[in-house]
Amino acid sequence: MHSSVHVVPDAVGRQLVHLRQVEMAAFVRDDGLWDLEVTLTDRKSRLVLGGAKDHVAGVPIHDMRLALTVETGGDILGVAATMHAVPYDDSCTAATNEYQMLVGLNLFSGFRASLRQRIAQRNACSHLSELATMLPTLALQSFAGVIYPIRDDASQREPNAAIDRCRGLRADGEAVRLYYPRWYRGPVP
């Protein structure tokens, strides 16, 4: 028999054990390129005895950043991976160079599959690779309203890149019918 527990924050006493913070930012540059940055910080709420070193409460165990320079079509022109705090020092930081293999990929064309193919799991950092998977969404969200109109203003030659990438913007859905009618592929009301 399977029992389910309904979890409601603050309904019972809780104690924070681990805090992961992910921050994403996009910057348009004066030269027309874009810098996309994702950072990850992990902290424990208590002293944790680690393999290579002990982790003091509140001090980052992981503090890392993956930054890309991209053009508006999604082509990756440059990569910088940095690690300011890691649990295994040189073993972890050696993975940063692997991410140079992202140069030349396109965020909007099979990026996640290409990431897995180009960067072998055992040579990579699982945290940086996880951050990398967030970059296409960061680019789409950042370009919206700057590169791509939020609504179809007839200036677009191609459909909004987000169409058919989520339920809200299904090509046969109401939002596309209303805001991107040229690319609507559903029943005509």
Residue 31 burial (CB count, 10 A): 8
pLDDT at 154: 75
pLDDT over threshold 60, residue 30: yes
Do 54 and 93 share a domain, yes or no? yes
Structural domain count of the chain: 2
pLDDT at 3: 62
What CATH number is attached to the domain comprising 69? 3.90.1010
Where does 35-171 have alpha helices with state H?
89-93, 111-118, 126-133, 135-143
Q: Is residue 49 part of a domain?
A: yes
pLDDT at 6: 66
Q: Phi and psi at residue 160, in whole multiples of 5°?
A: -55, 135
Do 106 and 53 share a domain, yes or no? yes
Q: Phi and psi at residue 19, in whole multiples of 5°?
A: -130, 120
Q: Is residue 6 part of a domain?
A: no
- Give the domain range for residue 73: 18-143
Return the structure tokens found at 22: 């992910």
Do 33 and 122 share a domain, yes or no? yes
Q: What is the pLDDT of residues 45-99, one digit of tens each?
A: 999 888 788 889 999 999 999 999 999 999 999 999 999 999 998 889 999 999 9
| CA-closest candidate to residue 147, choices 168, 139, 38 | 139
Averaged pLDDT score across all residues of the chain: 90
Answer for the pair 174, 167: CB distance below 8 angstroms, yes or no.
no
Do 155 and 132 share a domain, yes or no? no
Answer for the pair 39, 45: CB distance below 8 angstroms, yes or no.
no
Maximum CA extent, the chain:
64
